[in-house]
Structure 1
Amino acid sequence: MQPLAAETITGYLGRLATANALTPRDLRLHVTDLAGLSPSHPNLERAAEWAERLGGLKPGHFEDDARKNSMYVRCQHHAWQPALCKRCGYTQDARTVCRRCAGGQQTSVQSRGGAVCNHHQRWHLDGADIDLTGFPEFAHAERCLSGTLWKRGIGLTTGELQLAASLIRYWATDEQLEGRIVDRMKMIGIDSIDADSVLLAAYPEIVRLTTILTDLSFASYLLSARFSLAEQVWALEAAVVTVMHGRTTPRLHQVAERIVARGKIAVEAAFGMRQNANNKRPATLEKALVASSQRHRSCLLRHLSTVRIQILPYEPGIAVPRSRVLDRRRPLPDLVVAEA
C-alpha cells in the first residue's frame, strides 16, 4: 500500500494495519518490538525502516518524502535567507488529512499546505470534514499558503498565521461583523469568532493579512527605528481593517501597539548582538534578527529586509547563539499572542 504525500509513519502504519485486517494496536506493538522502541512511549516515527519493509516500499522512502516536503528555513548555509536547506530543513507539524484523500480513513501528514483540501473542497484540520463548496476564497487562501507564504517559511504553526488570527479576533470583539464572513459563518455553523473558531471562520482573511504582514517592505516599515510607534501602530491597524472591511477598535489598537512595541525592542536587541561571548564585534545582522526573533518570540523579525530598516549605532549587548543552536530551534507563536 502506497503512503500519501508526506504521510507520517504512525498514520501509515495505522492504515496498513486496517488494510491487512489487523488492529492498529497489534501492528504498533509488533513494530515497537522489531525496532527496539520503548514499550511505554514508542515513537513510531523512528521506525521508518520497518514501516518501509512491512509496506513493501523502497528503502529511504520516508526520508525522501520528508525532504521533498521540507519547509523553507533561514540558516547559516544560505546566508540566513529563506531557502530549502538539505541539512536544516524540517517538515511542518503533523495535521490530519482529508478523509476523502485517505479513502475514508483517518491519518496525518506533514506535507506542504494548510487546512483545506482543494481537490475535494473540504476543511480537514483536527479531524474535521466540512464542506466548503460555494466558498472559493478558501481555495485561493490555500493556494497562497502553499505557494507565496510557504516560500517565506510560513506554515500552520510557525506563528505568523496565529498573529494574524489574533489581530482579527480582537478586532471582532468590538466590531459588528457583516458581509461575506457572516454568510460563511452561518453556512458552516459558527456563532461567534473566538480562539477556537477564528481560523475556520476567517481563514481567507487570515491568510491575506499574513501575506501583508510578512511582506518585506511592510514588515520592515512596521519595526524600523526610523518611524514613530504611533505611525507603525496605525499602519498595522490599517492592514487589519482593510482586510476586514471595517474600522479600528480600542481592543485592536491595544494589541497592535503591544505587537509593534515588542517587535521594535527585539530589533534593537538584534542590532546589539555580538558575534560570540569572547569578542565585541557585531554579529551578522541577518543572523541576529533570526536569533532575536526566537529570543523575544516575535515572528515578524524573520521577514525583515536589512536593506530597508535603519541601522542603529552599535552598542555591544548579548552574544548571538551558535548557528547550530539557531538551526535546531523551531518557530513559535508570538509571545504577545500567547499573553493576550
Structure 2
Amino acid sequence: MLIEPFAGETVGSVYRRLATRNAVPMGELWTTIRHARPRLPLRTTPELVPRLVEELADLPPGFFYGRRSDRLFVRCIHTNWRHSNCPTCAPLPSAVTKCRRCTAGEPVEVRTRIGAVCARHRRWHYAGADRDLARSADFVRAERCLTGTLWERGIGPDTGELELATTLIRAGDLRQEDESHRPALECHYPEAVRLVALTTETWAERFLTNTNVGPIQVAALVEAAVNAVTGGTSHDVDAVRASFRAEGREAVIGLDRPVRFRYGRSSGLDELGRRILKFAPRVRAILLRHTDARKPPARRPRPSSRRAQR
C-alpha cells in the first residue's frame, strides 16, 4: 500500500510512514533493501538511498530534491550576489515536524517553507509539539515574518539566529538562564523573531560588519534592540534603527543623545549589556551568517600536456 506524501516530506518520514502503512518493521524493510544493496550499513539509514525510497513509494524522480520555493535564500554568483533561492546554491531548510492537525495525527517531517507555528490551526508544532496558542495573533505574525522577510535573508527556524535571540532575551532574567531552547523559543517566539528581524536589517549589517566597531558597541546595539522588542514600542524600535552608525574608528550611538565611543572603550552598559558582552563575538558571527556568499564548486584545472608527458 502506498502513502500520500506531503510537500517537502523527508526521506526518513516517507520511509517510516510507508513501513507503518504496510505493517512492516522499518528494520525488516531495511534488511530487504540490503539484500539488493549489500554495501549499505546495517543501521537503518534510508537517507542513503533516496532514489530507492522514491521507487518504493511510487514518487516522481527528484521528489526529495525539493521545490525551489522552499529553499533558503543565499547570496551567490548566479544572481550577481543578491539574495535568492538559487536552485544550485540555496539549501533546503532543516527538517521540521508538521502540524498534527494538518497530517491527521501522523508524525511527519518536512523540509519546506514553514517555521514553528501552523497559522491555519493556530498550533505550536515545533520539535514534535502540538499545543494550542494562547497568543495566537502574535505567533502568527511572527510566523509570517519568519517565512517571509527572514526566509529571504536566508534565516530559518534552525539556522541559529532564533536560538541566539532567545538566549539574548533570557539574558536579562537569571531565573530563565538554564531553560532549554525548545520551551524558551515557545515562550519568546514573537519577540525572538522581531529581534532577529531588527538586527539583520541593512543598517545593522553595516554596523556589525564595520571592523572598527568593537564588542562593546556590539553589546550596546544588542542591548538596545532587546529592550526595544521586549518592552518598548514601535517608536523605540525606530530609535534603535536611527541610533547606531560607525564613522571611521568611532561608533556613534545616539539613543538618548549622540555619544561617541572609540574602539575598545567602555560604553557604560547596564547589566543586560554586560552579560551580552561576554559572548559578543558569537553574536556578531551568527547575526552576519546570512551575509555569507556562495560560489559554485571550483573545478580543478586539467594538467597541461607538458606535465602529463613528464
Aligned to 1:144: 145
Aligned to 2:205: 219
The sequence identity of aligned pairs, in percent, is 36
Q: 1:325 to 1:60 in 2, by over 3 A?
A: closer
Q: 1:232 to 1:13 in 2, by over 3 A?
A: closer
Question: Which residue identity lines up with residue 101 of structure 2 in the other structure?
Answer: R
- What SS does the corresponding residue of 1:112 show, helix, strand or coil? coil
Cα distance in 2 for partners of 1:165, 1:263 equals 12
- How far 1:256 sits from its partner (Å)? 3.1
Q: Give matches, 1:68-217, under 5 Å.
A: 68-173=69-174, 194-196=179-181, 197-217=183-203
Cα distance in 2 for partners of 1:299, 1:221 equals 14
Query: Do the aligned partners of 1:93 and 1:110 also contact (CA within 8 Å) in 2?
Result: yes
Aligned to 1:40: 42
Q: Deviations over 1:79-134 (max 9, x none)?
A: 44321122122211112222222221212111112111112221112211111155
Query: Do the aligned partners of 1:67 and 1:90 also contact (CA within 8 Å) in 2?
Result: no
Cα distance in 1 for partners of 2:139, 2:84 equals 27
Q: Give the superposed CA RMSD.
A: 3.3
Cα distance in 2 for partners of 1:80, 1:138 equals 32
Q: Give matches, 1:265-304, under 5 Å.
A: 298-302=285-289
Cα distance in 1 for partners of 2:167, 2:202 equals 21
Cα distance in 1 for partners of 2:135, 2:179 equals 23
Cα distance in 1 for partners of 2:178, 2:269 equals 16
Cα distance in 1 for partners of 2:12, 2:180 equals 29
Cα distance in 1 for partners of 2:141, 2:223 equals 24
- How far 1:225 sits from its partner (Å)? 4.6
- How far 1:166 sits from its partner (Å)? 1.3
- How far 1:199 sits from its partner (Å)? 0.6
1:242 to 228, 246, 260: 228
Query: Do the aligned partners of 2:164 and 2:283 also contact (CA within 8 Å) in 1?
Result: no
Aligned to 2:13: 11
Q: Deviations over 1:55-89 (max 9, x none)?
A: 222222222x2544221123333344321122122
Unaligned 5+ segments in structure 1 are: 175-190, 265-297, 306-320, 327-340
Q: 1:49 to 1:15 in 2, by over 3 A?
A: same
Query: Do the aligned partners of 1:2 and 1:57 also contact (CA within 8 Å) in 2?
Result: no
Cα distance in 2 for partners of 1:134, 1:205 equals 12
Q: 1:261 to 1:45 in 2, by over 3 A?
A: closer
Question: Which residue identity lines up with residue 14 of structure 1 in the other structure?
Answer: R
- How far 1:140 sits from its partner (Å)? 0.9
- How far 1:52 sits from its partner (Å)? 2.0
Which structure would you say has the larger Rg?
A: 2
Aligned to 1:184: none
Query: Do the aligned partners of 1:209 and 1:239 also contact (CA within 8 Å) in 2?
Result: yes
Cα distance in 1 for partners of 2:294, 2:199 equals 28
Q: Deviations over 1:245-280 (max 9, x none)?
A: 17x98552124334556677xxxxxxxxxxxxxxxx
Q: TM-score when scaled to structure 1?
A: 0.67
Question: Which residue identity lines up with residue 194 of structure 1 in the other structure?
Answer: E
Q: 1:28 to 1:230 in 2, by over 3 A?
A: same
Q: Deviations over 1:285-308 (max 9, x none)?
A: xxxxxxxxxxxxx02234569xxx
- How far 1:322 sits from its partner (Å)? 9.6
- How far 1:42 sits from its partner (Å)? 4.2
Unaligned 5+ segments in structure 2 are: 233-267, 299-310
Cα distance in 2 for partners of 1:90, 1:58 equals 21
Cα distance in 1 for partners of 2:133, 2:13 equals 25
Query: Do the aligned partners of 1:215 and 1:303 also contact (CA within 8 Å) in 2?
Result: no
Equivalent pairs counted in the alignment come to 261
Question: Which residue identity lines up with residue 78 of structure 2 in the other structure?
Answer: H
1:25 equivalenced with 2:27 (yes/no): yes
- How far 1:200 sits from its partner (Å)? 0.9
Q: TM-score when scaled to structure 2?
A: 0.72
- What SS does the corresponding residue of 1:26 show, helix, strand or coil? helix
Cα distance in 2 for partners of 1:136, 1:322 equals 36
Aligned to 1:61: 63
- What SS does the corresponding residue of 1:74 show, helix, strand or coil? strand
